[in-house]
Structure 1
């Protein structure tokens, strides 16, 4: 009888303790969800086993700028066998994305936000591509996070196999989609702007949560982790960041009329009327970092709609339209059109490009940046592995150009560095 009583007493005490624990659990302060509490994340690290032929390089030594490692990387990029070994045909992606779960798992796409801060600050991306599937896929993987949203515009002139591969990749993600109205892009002509406008409209309609818009092309690559990008955008406090300067010697682009003939832009010989509302036309570039309010103005502001119509027969409108809108009073995040507020591409955070004409030897006061360690295409540096130490010291969010056909080691080491840094940031949450 005593034994029974003792057992009943123990059960009673146990029920009281369990009840108290349950009450504590129910009434506990709500904590931010941290995936590291639920599962390990070491499987998201990039290792040599994941890499292709690039894994023979010592990325740590390359990022430290060690001469031997840089020379080895340079030698490999000009070796025929190595160049052939890193080529991935479009058909690989078409086949690999037949099983989306396996594709995302094998490529180690992030399945969850790595921090509450990132989850609460989603971003919207416009990605314009026309060739080089591998470039696009590695860029998407580098910037992918499930709280963000991505609009992909494939040039209507692209090869069928390229289109199918991109369609296969985007179909594997609920937050990545193809633009609803693709256009045939013509260099330096209006369709280049229209492609971004179509993605802007789709992104604006698709979600009300995202805070900032960033547009990219297939040969861009991030220099910062998603958390770093979020923190830098927060620090803008609603402002925008892009090149926007007095137009100067490029004024001919907006004073003469142009048209597309047989897929090429040509002058009509006609002089254009002045811009609407006497808006001061500014010089800039196609790539911007802007708030959701800026995008709303682009889509709805009557002044901007008039400017867009006026700009459709200009030369390279992508290199003045966004910069001009940035200086229109009342546009969210804009700055005053006075020259005191001019911003160069070096000071803006949107995108870093090395132009051949501004390169120079180290220590040269006449040079804006050191010489290119890769090669040049249309006077722009296609980065090599030797450019990485300098690139990672800059404040820009993205850089252009990268090319896995020309120097896959630069992309391999950069993406590996960013993933390791992103997971290291998680340790400190």
Structure 2
């Protein structure tokens, strides 16, 4: 028999064992934490002394945290607390807000514009240092840097969930801020991390997604995406397949890259998409220009169309793209050529005989190409001298401080997403857009209404000849 030990010694022994176990777990994760820390330091303009540590989000009890924070019905008191948390955040910086509004108004002095362009650091980055020791999902989800929205504004938003696919390969901090802006608990999010991305980037994106086990995940079959090639389409297929598999509730599939910014709130987007009644939003024109980028003959002798890689597709259209025989035939036919990703959905959408859900009910005229311009804000320029930001990529101007008036006034209510908005180019421009977007969300929680409805698009020939879908 074992000798009977005093109670105090037993308790002391248990405490020592627990302490040794904690130290072991800490050492086990130390290398991962350090590598993620170094990764973030090397990929941002933030002072490296401010990024000594990085949050590690424990996987235990994640589902419980999510259900507590995002899924349980809120009482009237809880709703008031939620609205207060949206209204109160780090984005409510009055002095900075005034600077942004001056720039957005288009009347800023040249000295203010120049000073704003030269700002090299972002203002609203989550405090990874102080939160690293208590880096639980609970603390992360409740941070006020850029608040996560935990409750829809109204029933119409709640009952119209969306599916987002974000294709990324670098710059976690931009992705994390974009995700905060986009997130709503009723939506679904597939993050396609490029197969060639750094392992540390994949790890930290996975840690973020783990805090949302019900509706956020990484693509299960990531692709090594090459711009302009068939792999772009395969990346979309990867997220589409996962999203169709995870839920049948969502209404539209929306694809984004990591360097874009929404020019609408989720409520405004839902308000607009409801009015489309299932019609897809895809730009495209019958083209003979890029003959060497497409096969001479398409299956079913379909007409050739080309457009952008951006689209809004209803749920049934995504199922059709993944499963229909003509979709498989078209995919095989286009695979060896350039610009597959700019033609696949356009061919399905604009050939009426395909009966693509949400596609055209009649073969379109060229006018329809212009009517779908709501999809993206892009400033196409083939000469850098015509680019007001002074920087161009693939014939598209990079968005910066000089574009703030266009984005918040000319494009607001006409365009859905701003394209070519790199996080490191003009940090202040991105931060101003965060403030602008947050102010719109605050107003929605106070009024319960969306501010814009995209009447020009709804009344366009594109929508007139679109094929509506049951369930909308």
- TM value normalised by structure 1: 0.77
> Counterpart of 2:418 in 1: which secondary structure?
strand
* Pair 1:405–1:205, CA change in 2 (3 A): same
Aligned residue in 2 for 1:413: 432
> Counterpart of 1:248 in 2: which secondary structure?
coil
Q: Aligned-pair distance for 1:57?
A: 7.0
Equivalents in 2 of 1:374, 1:75: separation in Å? Answer: 16
> Counterpart of 1:177 in 2: which secondary structure?
strand
Aligned residue in 1 for 2:84: 42
Q: Aligned-pair distance for 1:152?
A: 0.5
* Pair 1:37–1:199, CA change in 2 (3 A): closer
Aligned residue in 2 for 1:404: 423
Aligned residue in 2 for 1:262: none
Aligned residue in 2 for 1:311: 334
* Pair 1:66–1:112, CA change in 2 (3 A): same
Equivalents in 1 of 2:445, 2:89: separation in Å? Answer: 18
162, 172, 181: which is aligned to 2:201?
Answer: 162
Q: Aligned-pair distance for 1:372?
A: 3.0
Give the aligned CA root-mean-square deviation in angstroms.
3.1
Q: Aligned-pair distance for 1:193?
A: 0.7
Aligned residue in 2 for 1:391: 407
Equivalents in 1 of 2:273, 2:130: separation in Å? Answer: 33
Equivalents in 1 of 2:131, 2:90: separation in Å? Answer: 24
136, 139, 148: which is aligned to 1:102?
Answer: 139
Equivalents in 1 of 2:397, 2:276: separation in Å? Answer: 29
Q: Aligned-pair distance for 1:91?
A: 8.4
192, 200, 205: which is aligned to 1:153?
Answer: 192
Aligned residue in 2 for 1:377: 393
Are residue 64 (structure 1) and residue 105 (structure 2) matched?
yes
Equivalents in 1 of 2:316, 2:332: separation in Å? Answer: 21
Task: Report the number of matched residues.
Answer: 367
299, 303, 320: which is aligned to 1:276?
Answer: 299
Equivalents in 1 of 2:78, 2:444: separation in Å? Answer: 12
Is the contact between residue 374 and residue 385 of structure 1 (CA under 8 Å) also seen in structure 2?
no
Aligned residue in 2 for 1:259: none
- Listed as ranges, the gaps of 5+ residues in structure 2 are 1-73, 449-472
The structure with more radius of gyration: 1
Equivalents in 2 of 1:219, 1:63: separation in Å? Answer: 20
Aligned residue in 2 for 1:248: 288
> Counterpart of 1:284 in 2: which secondary structure?
strand
300, 311, 331: which is aligned to 2:356?
Answer: 331
* Pair 1:231–1:87, CA change in 2 (3 A): closer
- Deviation per CA, 1:221-278: give whole Å up to 9, x if none: 10011111001111111111121101221121013xxxxxxxxxxxxxxxxx621111
> Counterpart of 2:281 in 1: which secondary structure?
coil
Q: Aligned-pair distance for 1:219?
A: 0.4
Equivalents in 2 of 1:275, 1:94: separation in Å? Answer: 55
* Pair 1:162–1:72, CA change in 2 (3 A): farther
- Deviation per CA, 1:186-243: give whole Å up to 9, x if none: 2221111100011011111111111111000000110011111001111111111121
Aligned residue in 1 for 2:375: 350
* Pair 1:96–1:328, CA change in 2 (3 A): farther
* Pair 1:154–1:276, CA change in 2 (3 A): same
- Listed as ranges, the gaps of 5+ residues in structure 1 are 1-31, 256-272, 362-370
Aligned residue in 2 for 1:235: 275
- Extract structure 1 runs of 4+ deviating beyond 6 A: 32-36, 85-94, 358-361
Equivalents in 2 of 1:201, 1:286: separation in Å? Answer: 18
Is the contact between residue 398 and residue 420 of structure 2 (CA under 8 Å) also seen in structure 1?
yes
Is the contact between residue 122 and residue 428 of structure 2 (CA under 8 Å) also seen in structure 1?
no
Is the contact between residue 141 and residue 148 of structure 2 (CA under 8 Å) also seen in structure 1?
yes
Aligned residue in 2 for 1:191: 231
Equivalents in 2 of 1:159, 1:210: separation in Å? Answer: 31
Q: Aligned-pair distance for 1:47?
A: 4.8
- Deviation per CA, 1:96-155: give whole Å up to 9, x if none: 994222112114111222221110110001100011112211111111100000000011
Name the structure where strand makes up a greater proportion of residues: 1
Is the contact between residue 354 and residue 381 of structure 1 (CA under 8 Å) also seen in structure 2?
yes
Q: Aligned-pair distance for 1:170?
A: 1.3
> Counterpart of 2:142 in 1: which secondary structure?
helix
